Amino acid sequence: MAAVDSFYLLYREIARSCNCYMEALALVGAWYTARKSITVVCDFYSLVRLHFIPRLVSRADLIKQYGRWAVVSGATDGIGRAYAEELASRGLNIVLISRNQEKLQMVAKDIADTYKVETDIIVADFSSGREIYDPIREALKDKDIGILVNNVAVFYPYPQYFTQVSEDKLWDIINVNIAAASLMVHIVLPGMVERKKGAVVTISSGSCCKPTPQLAAFSASKAYLDHFSRALQYEYASKGIFVQSLIPFYVATNMTTPGSFLHKCPWLVPSPKVYAHHAVSTLGISKRTTGYWSHSIQVLLRDFTLTLFVSLELEPFERVAPRRSIQFLFAQYMPEWLWVWGANILNRSLRKEALSCKA
Ligand SMILES: NC(=O)c1ccc[n+]([C@@H]2O[C@H](COP(=O)([O-])OP(=O)(O)OC[C@H]3O[C@@H](n4cnc5c(N)ncnc54)[C@H](OP(=O)(O)O)[C@@H]3O)[C@@H](O)[C@H]2O)c1
């Protein structure tokens, strides 16, 4: 065996024989970095194009584009109410659906007085099952519904392990989060197809893109909505219908426990009014979006950071464009273990906070 008497000589010999491999590796690295950099630049461009440019140019005429009436489920509070108000501010008449008649009347009057549009209300509890849909169909039959907003949903009182969630709550999640959107689309879509125009907006949630522990049934129900919307878009785009899967992160509503630390960062957790204003401006532009620029930046930053640390080669994500949309990059980029780890930490602290508020 040859003795090695100089480390430097050995290193030089190895370096010389590996030179071509090093160069090949350097080329692969340069190609990867260039590709990722271009992707990040394109994403920022897409973000500006989706969230800022539509707000600078004149607002789209939603009545001409889709029709005179909009239906919003879960319209008396939070995102649903804000979305209804935003549509009304653009001249659309609104049908509001929720459980509480007095609240519905109050919100309907408020919207009609403020925006000088017609409003109508339907009292329905989506957790009741199938019998509510015939009266809804009947109430909507003489209206040309241009936009359907599937907003209603129920959430856990706070993040919980599956066996701690009551049977009633699980049944509500299925009836309200899954069945309501499916059957509402079934009611209004035939009219839209006949008129060859219309938009269906279904509000999913950031928890839909990966299995989310401590929100198992909720996140699964939102994944259903996301897949449902995307499949509908493929089925009905050619018939003049625009289907959007709206995927918000946290928004400061009753669902996110008022007083929680989440309500203290408006930049990351916008008010429903701010959120709806941005989300409506993406209507007709992106078929799958978070709906809010800072939610998209959160996604982009996560993606950028991960690009630096995680050398995963995955499929390129979709971009914001009339044909393809950008959001939920992390669905493709974030490793599941990282998502689950983050979700566990966040949900544990939210549960702790909710329980200490209760005590
Ligand atoms: N807030 C967030 O951080 C967040 C994040 C991601 C996704 N989202 C999604 O955004 C949507 C709206 O959430 P939100 O936070 O705005 O909710 P919210 O403030 O709790 O409002 C829920 C609305 O739905 C109605 N509603 C509740 N249960 C109903 C039922 N069984 N039948 C009929 N109406 C019912 C409520 O009115 P009544 O009580 O008067 O019936 C209310 O108008 C949901 O799909 C949610 O999953 C929210």
**Ligand 1, closest atom to CA 79?**
16
At residue 80, φ and ψ (nearest 5 deg) are: -60, -50
Q: CA dist 276 to 86, 181, 200, 293, 314, Å?
A: 7, 19, 15, 12, 32
Overall average pLDDT of the 187-209 stretch: 95
Using one digit for the tens of pLDDT, what is the confidence trace for 228-255?
999 999 999 999 999 999 999 889 998 8
pTM, to two decimals: 0.81
Interval between CA 175 and ligand 1 midpoint (Å): 14
Paired strand residues for 200? 148, 243
Token pair listed for 81: 């109410």
- Whether 273 is in the pocket of ligand 1, judged by its Cβ within 6 Å, is no
- Whether 176 is in the pocket of ligand 1, judged by its Cβ within 6 Å, is yes
Strand 69-73 and strand 288-289: pairing?
unpaired
Q: CA dist 243 to 49, 183, 252, 286, Å?
A: 19, 15, 25, 9
Interval between CA 75 and ligand 1 midpoint (Å): 8
Amino acid identity for residue 62 in this structure: L
Q: Confidence class of residue 314 from pLDDT cuts 50, 70 and 90? A: very low
**Sheet order of strands, 241-246 included:** 119-123, 93-98, 69-73, 145-150, 198-203, 241-246, 288-289
**Ligand 1, closest atom to CA 254?**
19
Interval between CA 68 and ligand 1 midpoint (Å): 24
Tell which wins on pLDDT, 117 or 307: 117
Q: Is 168 exposed, middle or buried (0-12, 13-18, 19+ CB in 10 A)?
A: exposed
Average pLDDT in the chain: 86
- Whether 76 is in the pocket of ligand 1, judged by its Cβ within 6 Å, is yes
Take atom 20 of ligand 1 and give the residue whose Cα is closest. Answer: 255
Question: What is the per-residue pLDDT for 258?
Answer: 59
**Ligand 1, closest atom to CA 172?**
31
Q: What is the C-alpha to C-alpha distance for residues 210 and 61, in angstroms, rounded to an integer? A: 35
Interval between CA 203 and ligand 1 midpoint (Å): 10
Take atom 14 of ligand 1 and give the residue whose Cα is closest. Answer: 78
Interval between CA 154 and ligand 1 midpoint (Å): 6
Interval between CA 74 and ligand 1 midpoint (Å): 6
